[in-house]
Structure formats: C-alpha cells, structure tokens
Amino acid sequence: MPEDTIFGKIARGEIPADIVYEDDLCVAFRDIAPQAPAHVLVIPRQPVVNIADEAAEPGLVGHLVAVCAKVAKQLGIEESGYRVVTNVGPDAGQSVAHLHFHLLGGRHMAWPPG
C-alpha cells in the first residue's frame, strides 16, 4: 500500500481544500501554487501512486480524465483549451506519491511543455 500523503488526507476530508468537484471515486481541488489561471488537481480517493501503479485500473484512470473534462467545462475553459498532465516519478516532477492529474487552462500553453 502506498505511503499516506497530503492528497490522501484531502481525499478523506482530513485537510481542507478548495474543492470544485467530488464524487465517490475522486476529488478535484484548486492547486495551492497555481501554474495557470485555472489549475485544478484531480485525484482518486483510493491510494494509487501514479498511472504505472497496478492499482491504476483503466476504469479509474478514464473516470479521472472524464472528470478533468467536466471540470474544464465547469470552469469555462473548454472552448479556449486546456491541458491535462500527470507525472510519473521524480524525474518527471511527481512530488506527491498519489496519482493526480493537473488540469491547466486560462492562458496560452507553449509546446513543448518542458
């Protein structure tokens, strides 16, 4: 089982967050250090390290991506465009060992991303 993380505590309601969406499988909340005008993290309630974790079942990952699209519409960024990113491992920038998707929008995004 993965180590308990700040995201696990947010998912369980033990730490407050600016929640914009939640359901039985996931929670979406505003990032405390936003990299874009709209920056929301979408996390599963269950402890999953990242998409390479065997617990990252396709149905769960698909649900999280669908929630990203739903939240983008809710935030009004679906027309101008947005980016959905997940990091796997420290070299990719994963700093919390709990699967999370970054939903970023509200500004022009350059390519390549970095």
Catalytic residues: 100
Adjacent-strand bridge partners of 24: none
- Strand order of the sheet with strand 101-105? 19-22, 26-30, 38-44, 101-105, 82-85
